[in-house]
Amino acid sequence: MEQKRENPRLVVYGCGGHGKVVADIALARGLRVEGFIDDGVQAGGRVLGLPILGGAAWLEAHRSEVGVALGIGENHARRRVYGLCEALGLVPATLIHPSAVVAASARVGAGVVVMAQAVINPDARVADGVIINSGAIVEHDCELGAFAHLSPNATLGGTVRIGALAHVGLGASILPGKSVGEEAVVGAGAVVLADVPPRVVVVGVPARVRR
């Protein structure tokens, strides 16, 4: 998949661990990262040697000069920041690590981050604001709803559907054709053999509802 041309000067919204990885992807893509935006951290510090520039007010003042990438791992917070960027007229950048493999026929929305060694296979559809973390596999014809998160090494078989804001934990596997409901959480290492309803937490092999 050809990566859309973005503003080569980028700021990353969120300066925690996830934001750091997002900044690293941008640098690996040859973009210039000006620094981080964070509402909860004092401006002036540095992360990865890059400055923390300020909060939302900084972005509002400089919105015509930079693009923005979403560096927030928590799904609801990431959706909120996406909305804030939209309100400022900024469409968050889609960042794909150079070592990720994304099929030409896959569709990847705005503000999606695809990390190192991830695979997105043909005809998969990935909605806005999704995280495909390191080494995760999205098989052919999967559909991921907005602001979902596939953790490192999570694997989706073909035609799996993941609801909006759902979180699939580290190394979890979802069997082909199964679905995970909106805002559901699949625990690390779980193997999902049956559809997961919305807003539940499932764990284990086979995955069972925990709450």
Residues that bind ligand COA (CB under 6 A): 133, 151-152, 169-170, 185, 187-189, 201, 203-204, 210
Rank residues 146 and 150 by Cβ distance to ligand COA and give the closer one. Answer: 150
The nearer residue to ligand COA, 47 or 150, going by C-beta atoms, is: 150
Residue 171 Cα distances to 28, 82, 133, 142, 192, angstroms: 25, 27, 11, 17, 12
The residue among 25 and 59 lying less far from ligand COA, judged by its C-beta, is 25
CB of 171 to ligand COA, least distance (A): 8
Q: What is the distance between the terminal CA atoms of the chain, rounded to a whole angstrom? A: 39
Q: Which parts of 88-170 fold into alpha helices (H)?
A: none
For residue 135, the minimal CB distance to ligand COA (Å) is 11
User: Could you tell me the smallest distance in angstroms from the CB atom of residue 174 to ligand COA?
Assistant: 14
From the list 94, 176, 116, the residue with the least C-alpha distance to 143 is: 176
Question: CB of residue 74 vs ligand COA: minimum separation in angstroms?
Answer: 10
Give the active site residue among 18, 97, 140, 167: 140
140 is catalytic: yes
What tokens were used for 26? 């941008």
Closer by beta carbon to ligand COA, 175 or else 203: 203
Angle at 140 between CA 135 and CA 141, to 5 degrees: 125
Quick one: which of 177, 185, 145 has its CA closest to 160? Answer: 177
Taking the CA atoms of 13, 19, 25 and 30 in sequence, report the sign of the dihedral they define.
positive
Enumerate the active-site residues.
140
